[in-house]
Structure 1
Amino acid sequence: MASSEAQYESDDGMDEFMDKFKTQRYKNAFTENNWEEEFDKVPMFMKKAPEEFDSETHPELACLQAIIHDEDRPPQEQAKSLKDEGNAFFKEKNYQKAILSYTAGLKKKCGDQELDTVLLTNRAAAHFHLGNMRSALNDAAAAKKIKPDHLKALVRGVQCCIELRIFADAIQWCDEGLKAHPNDKKLQELRAAADKHKRAAERDARKAKAKEKKLYGEKEALLAAVKDRGIKLLQPAQPRQHGSDSEDEDEGSSAAIRQLRVDGLSSQEVTGAQVFLDEQGSLHWPVLILYPEHQQSDFISAFCENNCFLDHLTVMFGEELPPWDTDRKYHPQNLQLYFEDEQKERLYQVNPETSLLKVLQHKRFFVKAGTPSFIVLVNGSPFWKKFLTGKKVQGL
């Protein structure tokens, strides 16, 4: 009897509670403004895990992590939990953390080949999105070794090979995949793309080789033209080869010697101009004209060997004189031209009506850095007298 009365009392109390609940709002309920924020604090509903947390700030999340990484559970369960954790990071595009989770799962060595294949393929995808193509390819290859017909591993391997521009390997991956999945459209599309890239790369390689061969032929012709004219190139300093007993080596005896001679024809001017042979067989040289009195210079990018110096001086100092010539004294008829023999510390005076070729053929003229250079002075000027004082001067 007492039990029945207690039951009635309990029921009466619940009715009273429910009546009160209908008339009063629950004080701790979520509001329309904060429910999303509050739900995001609950581990099961979090859209994104905090970057760093501990058991005090997020006790529930720490508890879940402890469950995932519980060493007492079988390795297969641990590996699966780590795979799921990696997948969650992957969806958040946190590929670095996804890689760490997948790697931790693989280290469990659970023995489940299907699970290991998925872990490797997923890690390959994370590496792929980070641009680590070689690591992604290694993971895809490891997954394919476990399961040769695993479609995702095959597709990822092809994509990595294409990104790495190893198109022949990409085609091989596709062919292996299509044996197991002959109707897979993705593999078919990737094979077509890889084949197209491969043919384009081979075409570009052929063009580059043909261009290189043409340039080589042009350089050989250029060197031959310089040699036939008796023009001497001042070669850049080169370290002596170990074991070499002779300073003199036969021209053209090796590719290194030929390249050395080509280097002697390379201009160091910022314009990039250098000597070339025209269709008529004439050489055109980049020439540097120096004006030491004013520390100025002129650069003639293509001085034909058959032209004389006066032709260019007339253009450079014609009706309009350079702004640095404040005394207006640089006129073609007032100028003297020289080249310097650095080895013998001697100046050679050049007749402005002389052709460039004749000067270059002089026994003491050496073309330095592919660019013949000359000094121009104003005849009879105070600087001219001072500059020539103590110097040995000789005519051609």
Structure 2
Amino acid sequence: MNVEEISDEVADRLNISQGEDGKSLSQEPAQSSSQNAPSPASAAMLPELSPGRAMTEKKTVDEVVAELKKTPFFMTELEENDDTEALKALAYEGTPLEVGSEFKDRGNECFRAKRWADAKEFYTKGILVLAAEERKRVKGERPDPTITEDEVEAQRSALVALYVNRAACHLELRNYRSCWLDCAAALRLDDTNVKAYYRSARAFLAVGRIAEADDACARGLALDEANKPLRGVAQDIVKRHEEVTAKQRAESERVAREKRRQTLVKVSLKARNIRTRTTAQPPEMEDAGMKLVPDPDDPRSSLSFPAVLLYPAHLQSDFVKAFAEMETLADHLAYVFPLPWDAAREYTLGGVECYMETLTGGLVKVGKKVPLLKVLSGNVEVVDEVVRIFVLPKAKAAAWVEEFKMKKAAEKGAG
């Protein structure tokens, strides 16, 4: 029997709005010197640091993500990182602020050229440099007496800008999780950074985490109520929420309607004394199934069943999607015959006999002009919502019936 098998079954690319100052990138003052900038060779030596690990202590990335689900923007621990420790041994020309700022400037150049991956690499290298300095301060290591408080603040400001700018790269590259992790790191250092809230909201919205997107957006608007990019993402959040709510409502209504229809079918089957049984592996039948027609919501409608016409003498079959209770076998055999593979023309309306299996494993002969309802109300059952009817040429029917009985007897004996 050939039964067609059908299986059931976006984030659109985000267009990054300009920041509140009309620029896409953070433009904090950079105290860099071209003569002190690291050479391309030394820049290439810098290790890659995975997003979200540069500013966390005693936590794995997964633990940070778990905490982020609750309070996305207030991470308070820093993590020791082998990559950063290795970085400490590298020699740079210039102060950490100068080196970090130089990497930020190079990243900005790549970002303006829409070379998102290259920009991300430069921002990462700058983060490695300045995050190492921040880690020293958090650990309470003896401060460098040559570094003033103003320079410490400048380092921290540059580090925030690097995180926010790398988040923008992740947003363009659709690395949404990395985007909100970088924004979280920036907000831990400066919880007034509006761009971090904006990019976090965009990343959360892109993956359908509407509640977190709304939280990020609300925090940003609390700082700058007139911020156009944030107001734009707020409108997108409202729209997405309405779409999701409408979809959920429609799905709930569909499920409730389907459940009500199934109940009506069960009641109709019981009223007609039709027995049914379901096996462990029912066949997939697309949208075919027992249903009330023409109106599935009206209990006064007639029952309709999928049916399989089995031709055991030739190991063939036909599938009838809807066999109404008051229709007869003749109604369907009339358009099924002649069969394309029946070269001997053994299968004609008057030249075949039809059988169904009984509840006890026997056979009952089905008249071709008897309504299906009368047949199903007898000593038969509908298995997996499908009516199964054996169709045989009259000349071969008796032999097949005997063979069928022998097989059933053998099965019972083996059992």
Q: TM-score range by the shorter chain?
A: 0.5 to 0.7
Confirm or deny that 1:80 pairs with 2:101: yes
What is the DSSP-based 3-state SS (H/G/I as helix, E as strand, rest coil) of the residue aligned with 2:116?
coil
Aligned residue number for residue 170 of structure 2: 127
Question: What does 1:23-34 align with in structure 2 at a 5 Å threshold?
Answer: none
Q: How far did residue 227 of structure 1 move?
A: 2.9
Paired residues of 1:70 and 1:78 also in contact (CA < 8 A): no
Q: Describe the shift of the 1:105–1:356 C-alpha distance in structure 2 as closer, same or farther (beyond 3 A).
A: farther
CA distance in 1, matches of 2:245, 2:317: 47
Confirm or deny that 1:294 pairs with 2:314: yes
Aligned residue number for residue 344 of structure 2: 327
Aligned residue number for residue 93 of structure 1: 116
Confirm or deny that 1:210 pairs with 2:253: yes
Q: Describe the shift of the 1:102–1:195 C-alpha distance in structure 2 as closer, same or farther (beyond 3 A).
A: farther
Q: How far did residue 85 of structure 1 move?
A: 4.9
Paired residues of 2:93 and 2:99 also in contact (CA < 8 A): no
Q: How far did residue 375 of structure 1 move?
A: 0.5
Give the residue type in structure 2 aligned to 1:62. Answer: A
CA distance in 1, matches of 2:235, 2:91: 47
Aligned residue number for residue 284 of structure 2: 268
Paired residues of 2:116 and 2:173 also in contact (CA < 8 A): no
User: Which of 353, 368, 388 is the equivalent residue of 2:369?
Assistant: 353
What is the DSSP-based 3-state SS (H/G/I as helix, E as strand, rest coil) of the residue aligned with 1:354?
coil
CA distance in 2, matches of 1:126, 1:358: 70
Aligned residue number for residue 337 of structure 1: 354
Question: What does 1:143-292 align with in structure 2 at a 5 Å threshold?
Answer: 143-237=186-280, 268-269=284-285, 271-278=286-293, 279=295, 280-292=300-312
Aligned residue number for residue 70 of structure 1: 91
**TM (normalized to structure 1)?**
0.67
Give the residue type in structure 2 aligned to 1:212. Answer: V
| Cα deviation code 1:302-335 (max 9, x no counterpart) | 1111222222223333xxx222222223221221
Aligned residue number for residue 391 of structure 2: 376
What is the DSSP-based 3-state SS (H/G/I as helix, E as strand, rest coil) of the residue aligned with 1:62?
helix
What is the DSSP-based 3-state SS (H/G/I as helix, E as strand, rest coil) of the residue aligned with 1:212?
helix
Give the residue type in structure 2 aligned to 1:374. Answer: I
Q: Describe the shift of the 1:166–1:334 C-alpha distance in structure 2 as closer, same or farther (beyond 3 A).
A: same
Paired residues of 1:290 and 1:296 also in contact (CA < 8 A): yes
Q: How far did residue 133 of structure 1 move?
A: 0.8
Aligned residue number for residue 303 of structure 1: 323
Give the residue type in structure 1 aligned to 2:116. Answer: K
Higher mean displacement: 165-174 or 327-336: 165-174
CA distance in 2, matches of 1:66, 1:142: 24
Q: Describe the shift of the 1:61–1:188 C-alpha distance in structure 2 as closer, same or farther (beyond 3 A).
A: closer
CA distance in 2, matches of 1:333, 1:74: 100
CA distance in 2, matches of 1:217, 1:137: 44
What is the DSSP-based 3-state SS (H/G/I as helix, E as strand, rest coil) of the residue aligned with 1:294?
coil
What is the DSSP-based 3-state SS (H/G/I as helix, E as strand, rest coil) of the residue aligned with 2:181?
helix
CA distance in 2, matches of 1:356, 1:115: 80
Paired residues of 2:123 and 2:162 also in contact (CA < 8 A): no
Q: How far did residue 155 of structure 1 move?
A: 1.7
CA distance in 2, matches of 1:77, 1:306: 88
Q: Describe the shift of the 1:219–1:66 C-alpha distance in structure 2 as closer, same or farther (beyond 3 A).
A: closer
The alignment covers a number of residue pairs equal to 301
CA distance in 1, matches of 2:401, 2:288: 31
CA distance in 2, matches of 1:65, 1:353: 85
Give the residue type in structure 2 aligned to 1:132. Answer: N
Paired residues of 1:99 and 1:126 also in contact (CA < 8 A): no
Higher relative contact order (CA 8 A, sep 6+): 2
- Calculate the aligned-residue CA RMSD, in Å: 3.1
CA distance in 1, matches of 2:176, 2:45: 33
Paired residues of 1:83 and 1:105 also in contact (CA < 8 A): no
Paired residues of 2:127 and 2:159 also in contact (CA < 8 A): no
Paired residues of 1:106 and 1:119 also in contact (CA < 8 A): no
Aligned residue number for residue 392 of structure 1: 405
CA distance in 2, matches of 1:114, 1:316: 79
Q: Describe the shift of the 1:227–1:106 C-alpha distance in structure 2 as closer, same or farther (beyond 3 A).
A: farther
CA distance in 1, matches of 2:303, 2:93: 85
Paired residues of 1:143 and 1:153 also in contact (CA < 8 A): yes
Paired residues of 1:80 and 1:115 also in contact (CA < 8 A): yes
Give the residue type in structure 1 aligned to 2:316. Answer: Q
Give the residue type in structure 1 aligned to 2:133. Answer: K
Q: How far did residue 121 of structure 1 move?
A: 0.8
CA distance in 1, matches of 2:133, 2:393: 88
Confirm or deny that 1:109 pairs with 2:133: yes
What is the DSSP-based 3-state SS (H/G/I as helix, E as strand, rest coil) of the residue aligned with 1:323?
coil
Percent of aligned positions with the same letter in both sequences? 26
Paired residues of 2:103 and 2:126 also in contact (CA < 8 A): yes
Report the structure number with the largest CA radius of gyration.
1
Paired residues of 2:99 and 2:126 also in contact (CA < 8 A): no
Give the residue type in structure 1 aligned to 2:162. Answer: L
What is the DSSP-based 3-state SS (H/G/I as helix, E as strand, rest coil) of the residue aligned with 1:94?
helix
Q: How far did residue 345 of structure 1 move?
A: 4.4
Paired residues of 2:278 and 2:383 also in contact (CA < 8 A): yes
**TM (normalized to structure 2)?**
0.64
Q: How far did residue 72 of structure 1 move?
A: 7.9
What is the DSSP-based 3-state SS (H/G/I as helix, E as strand, rest coil) of the residue aligned with 1:176?
helix
What is the DSSP-based 3-state SS (H/G/I as helix, E as strand, rest coil) of the residue aligned with 1:156?
helix
What is the DSSP-based 3-state SS (H/G/I as helix, E as strand, rest coil) of the residue aligned with 1:155?
helix
CA distance in 2, matches of 1:299, 1:309: 13
CA distance in 1, matches of 2:398, 2:127: 82
